[in-house]
């Protein structure tokens, strides 16, 4: 391959229409279908374990799989793009958020759990945008653990557990409580990290301003004096 062809290939791989980004957009498209599947078997907003409920389970599973797949492909093939960095977390929040809200609407999940998780998720997103002028908040292992436990808890809630084995409902609730605890814990971690990033950014700006003023003062001091006559 010539250098021109390599450059063109790199340009194409960094465009919006690559495989990881297509998978991300597919996940976004799946969200309304997932929501419709959930309510299709819920006349009077009371969930039933009909075929559409299993369709919702399948849609959620496919969406979660594409989330893992697009990340793996993007990293292994060097297809990470700015669009993907923005669209991927949005797709995740749409999927998780819609699942939590619909489970609460169906009276299967307490509303306080949904509110706590969503306030944390969107609050941290807003905090990231606020702090980005000072620096980037690094991703933590706790954040990845939170995503895994949240996903597992929601998947358990989506299954018609009462029809399979009633005691499994309590297992799902216990896993969801763990997810809430990890969600709150990582949220506090992010707030602390954001405060550190902001403080470091302000200190760095102050040092840069001081250095600029010092250089300006030295420059003025070194100017040759003009002689009269």
Q: So what's the pLDDT on residue 35? A: 94
Q: Where are the domains of the chain?
A: 10-107, 109-214
Confidence of residue 119 (pLDDT cuts 50, 70, 90): very high
Confidence check: pLDDT of 45 > 60: no
CA distance 67 to 20: 9
* Longest alpha-carbon distance in the chain: 105
Answer whether residue 184 shows pLDDT above 90. yes
Task: Give the span between the Cα atoms of 106 and 165, in whole angstroms.
Answer: 19
- What pLDDT score was predicted for residue 213? 61
What is the pTM (predicted TM-score) of this model? 0.76
Does 223 score more than 90 pLDDT? no
Nearest to 116 by CA among 41, 185, 204: 185
pLDDT score for 214: 63
Cβ proximity of 152 and 175 under 8 Å: yes
Q: Rounded mean pLDDT of the chain?
A: 80
């Amino acid at each position: 391959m010539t250098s021109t062809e390599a450059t063109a290939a790199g340009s194409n791989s960094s465009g919006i229409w690559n495989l990881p980004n297509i998978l991300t957009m597919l996940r976004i498209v799946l969200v309304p279908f997932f929501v419709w599947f959930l309510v299709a078997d819920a006349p009077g907003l009371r969930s039933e374990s009909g075929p559409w409920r299993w369709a919702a389970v399948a849609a959620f599973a496919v969406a979660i799989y594409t989330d893992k797949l697009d990340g793996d492909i993007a990293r292994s093939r060097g297809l990470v793009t700015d669009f993907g960095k923005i669209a991927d977390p949005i797709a995740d929040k749409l999927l998780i958020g819609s699942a939590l809200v619909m489970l609460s609407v169906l009276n299967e999940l307490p509303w306080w759990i949904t509110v706590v998780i969503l306030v944390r998720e969107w609050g941290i997103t807003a905090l990231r945008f606020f702090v980005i002028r000072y620096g980037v908040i690094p991703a933590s292992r706790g954040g990845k653990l939170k995503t895994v436990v949240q996903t597992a808890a929601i998947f358990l809630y989506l299954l018609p557990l009462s029809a399979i084995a009633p005691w499994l409902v309590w297992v799902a609730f216990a896993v969801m409580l763990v997810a809430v605890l990890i969600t709150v814990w990582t949220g506090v971690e992010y707030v602390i990290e954001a405060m550190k990033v902001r403080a470091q950014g302000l200190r760095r700006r102050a040092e840069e301003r001081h250095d600029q003023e010092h250089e300006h003062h030295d420059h003025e001091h070194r100017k040759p004096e003009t002689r009269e006559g």
